Amino acid sequence: MPQQIAHYLKDYRAPEYLVPHIRLNFDVYEDHTAVTAELSIQPQPDAGGTLVLQGSAELVSLELNGQRLPETAYTLANNTLSIPNIPARPFTLSVATRLYPHQNKSLMGLYASSGNLYTQCEPEGFRKITYHPDRPDVMGIYTTRISADRARFPVLLSNGNRTGHGTLPDNRHWAEWHDPFAKPSYLFALVAGDLVCTRDSFTTRSGRQVALEFFTRAEDAGKACFGIESLKHAMRWDETRFGLEYDLDIFMVVAVGDFNMGAMENKGLNIFNTACVLADSRTATDADFERVEGVIAHEYFHNWTGNRVTCRDWFQLSLKEGLTVFRDQEFSADRASREVRRIENVSFLRAHQFPEDAGPTAHPVRPASYVEMNNFYTLTVYEKGAEVVRMYHTFLGEEGFQKGMKLYFRRHDGQAVTCDDFRAAMADANGFDFEQFALWYSQAGTPVLEVSGSLQTGNRFVLNIRQSIPPTPDMAAKQPMMIPLKIALFSADEDTFGQPIPFRLPESAHEQTEAVLTLRQAEESVALQFEGGYQQVVPSLLRGFSAPVNLHYAYSEHELSVLLACDSDPFARWEAAQTLYRRAIAANEAALLSGSPLPEHRALLQAIDYVLRADIGAAFQAALLAIPNEAELWAGRQNIDPLIVHRAREALLDLIATHFADQFAALNAEARRMEEEQSDLAEPYEYHPQQAGWRALRNACRAFILRARPGHIDQVAANYSQMAHNMTHEWGILSAINHNERPERNRLLEQFAAKFHRDDLVMCKYFSLIAASHRADTPAQVAAALEHPAFSLENPNKARALLGSFSRNVPHFHAADGSGYAFLAGQIGRIDRFNPQIAARLTQAFNICAQLEPQRRSLMRAELQKLAANPALSKDSGEIIGKILQASAVLGIARGQM
């Protein structure tokens, strides 16, 4: 494993040289691209006389103020170009490089995909194009000229507004683009290729006409319409909710099938993974449509929260990403079911970010150090970062939060700033003390709230709250956090069952039915006063998931039933159901380990009976029927046997399916009737949130029905074409039968692949189904999929679909003989040779290593050690593997097992 060189937040120094203007020239040829970068450089007062630029491209020549520099005038080593004896006054440096985009499989810098050229520069891809102070606090105004063969590359795009174009000899042509807004190098973008354009326009609130242009391959043009409509909704929403208007004459989106991330917010020229921008009624599920709408909004919102105000350094990444995730979550909540969107966000956070916070790669929202910046595009930075922003909103309310946002933009438009600057704007705009709140940026780990409650004298309920944060690899002892805890009280008395209880906080005469407590101490007690002689009072805690914490309260089953049936907060109702599910699975685990009969779970079954009969929205009903997955169940635990957890969960699903088989069938029929009544199936399928809710409920019911009656796969196979009249239903049916051992399952999947073999995004669904199946032949099918004509390990979407899904397949990835670990490690080793970023992401499937029981931990460590022994291993993968091995070794030593 190569040497790991860390970068530290504490070592930040302001740049010695700024580049206020940069002129780029790209001459695109069949086998290479010639690039000339003309940098107008402005030394700062403390400049030391040596200009240091980052770069890894083939250097052709350097010119300083028009004079060519001999090789003796500079040094080039370790991807760093150093030029001594630099003048103290402004000067011009011209850098000529040569690129080979068709050989670039990392998908960073300038690369080729299906014959077209694209860029990805965040975080450090610009240095693959030219030599530059490639850091976000060096901002400049870019002018870009592109020339290429007119037949091969009819479309030439870059940032900003197009200022000129024309023809050249030898059937070539050129285009020039100018971006009037200063930006860091990570926001530079270029696209050259044979693409078609779908056009529309948007009129801003000030009356400006903005051209909207979506570029795709010709065969994908019909899939761009939903994305354009989503963009217009996002532009209008940002004007209405935040008062933010778009600032260029044109907004362009380009879809590319080979892309490491979801999308990139390059100023005026967003580049999107096809999975996050293309959708049509034949090939996209409701979830796909929702994802497209959300990601398009996210990237558009970056125009202000990321582009106009950007990050001082990469440690501040959550400044733009956490804030923009919060904004896209709010957009999606306003567009569809707010309560279900919130539940989905929390469920995703718990299943993926909470384990990250409890694992070997745990880090604060603002990391203190990193080896490879690509590794810190994490769920902690994005999703937990969004929860940090949401806590500002919870403390301040919408009005106060908007005051803070306006001050933030007023102070920092056009600047590269820090998370502390954002916190200061929120505090100063509202006169609110957020000093302790800064710990959310510097302390890793998920806080734990241990809460107990007691009813005193019939009109006083006391909450005792103790907070702690588990140790993480970077820090053992933690300080108490500033936490917003949203609460309410409900009656469990027979005559007032489920009614909210108005209460008063200490030192307040104001009665309220909901309040936000501000926790600041390790231990606190809060007495809530109310009128009336209640005998049973149930606290509703962490309403709306007011903070990203684990809260423990010893609710009785009766108290949980009160919250599930009567709480006015949808998250609290869902959380009551989740608590019942988690307890039932834990009880199943205990029974399996002891060899005892499985419990009957009567209280849980009564709760589910209520859910099935409740008069609630279909999407919310489907959410209440979703039980926690394995990753949520073992987060923070040690000595895990994954198969025991899996079997305990499966046993609960079997019980629910068989106990309510008739009810699920009846509910499915009713959901079908409602879907057809609202959508009129004589018309083509279209995504609509309300109809999507009915389809989600139908798919939930189908999964339970086919679990209870696996023999019904014959009927499914016979009626498949009539049942699967859109991709949401098709995906739901195939998912429901995916674990079935009967041959009809394989036949239906092969029919699916044959029907969509030319559609890359749908084939990703196929590969995901193959890898997620619990069938005995899954390992063989996954190995065969690697050789499928539609599969390519070099395509990140397909690699994630197959290998990412396999890594979440508990019975096969965690096979007792370690074969699942060996398979994934082998594929990671292959990918690491050409795309370290994707390899490192897949490597995080091994983060659970230290939590496993000794035998599996040893098997997993052995595979990781093989990877680490490779001297050519990338620093991306090496950083992750090193942390996992260190954490699992420390744990093994502590247990005397090494």
Closest CA to 287 of 586, 894, 731: 731
| 869 CB-contact burial (10 Å; exposed 0-12 / middle 13-18 / buried 19+) | exposed
DSSP letter at 640 equals B
Q: To the nearest 10°, the Cα dihedral for 246, 251, 256, 259?
A: -30
Using DSSP bridges, classify how beta strands 416-417 and 369-370 pair: parallel, antiparallel or unpaired: unpaired
The three-state secondary structure class of 796 is helix
Tokens 């001297």 sit on residue:
871
- Cα separation values, 227 from 8, 332, 603, 686, 688, Å: 39, 14, 45, 14, 14
Q: Considering only the C-alpha atoms of the chain, give the largest distance between any 2 of them, rounded to a whole number of Å.
A: 93
Residue type, 186: Y
- Cα separation values, 754 from 103, 771, 772, Å: 31, 18, 19
Tokens 């290998």 sit on residue:
803
The three-state secondary structure class of 810 is helix
Given CA atoms 724, 725, 727, 729 in this order, what sign does their dihedral have? negative
Q: For residues 519 and 45, what is the distance between their CA atoms, to the nearest angstrom?
A: 46
Closest CA to 589 of 534, 643, 668, 645: 645
Q: For residues 112 and 187, what is the distance between their CA atoms, to the nearest angstrom?
A: 19
Q: For residues 93 and 131, what is the distance between their CA atoms, to the nearest angstrom?
A: 10
Query: Which tokens in the block code for residue 894?
Result: 């502590």
Give yes or no for a contact between 571 and 545, defined as CB atoms under 8 angstroms apart: yes
Paired strand residues for 21: 40, 141
Give yes or no for a contact between 119 and 190, defined as CB atoms under 8 angstroms apart: yes
Residues 6+ apart with CB under 8 A from 543: 486, 487, 488, 514, 569, 571, 572
Q: For residues 153 and 165, what is the distance between their CA atoms, to the nearest angstrom?
A: 14
Nearest-5° angle of CA 161, CA 163, CA 165?
120
Nearest-5° angle of CA 285, CA 287, CA 291?
120
- Cα separation values, 53 from 93, 128, 135, 204, 874, Å: 11, 12, 10, 40, 22
What are the phi and psi torsion angles at 550 (to 5°)? Answer: -100, 120
Q: For residues 332 and 329, what is the distance between their CA atoms, to the nearest angstrom?
A: 5
Tokens 């705009």 sit on residue:
429
Give yes or no for a contact between 613 and 605, defined as CB atoms under 8 angstroms apart: no
Pick the catalytic residue: 299, 383, 632, 879? 299
Query: Which tokens in the block code for residue 49?
Result: 């006389």
Closest CA to 387 of 432, 322, 339: 322
Catalytic residue at 299? yes
Look at phi and psi of residue 350 and say left if phi exceeds 0, alpha if psi is from -120 to 50, else beta: alpha
Closest CA to 265 of 193, 324, 221: 324
Q: For residues 593 and 647, what is the distance between their CA atoms, to the nearest angstrom?
A: 11
Q: Which residues of 171-210 are buried (b: 16+ CB within 10 A; e: fewer)?
A: ebbbbbbbbebbbbbbbbbbbbbebeebebebeeeeeeeb
Q: Which residues are catalytic?
A: 299
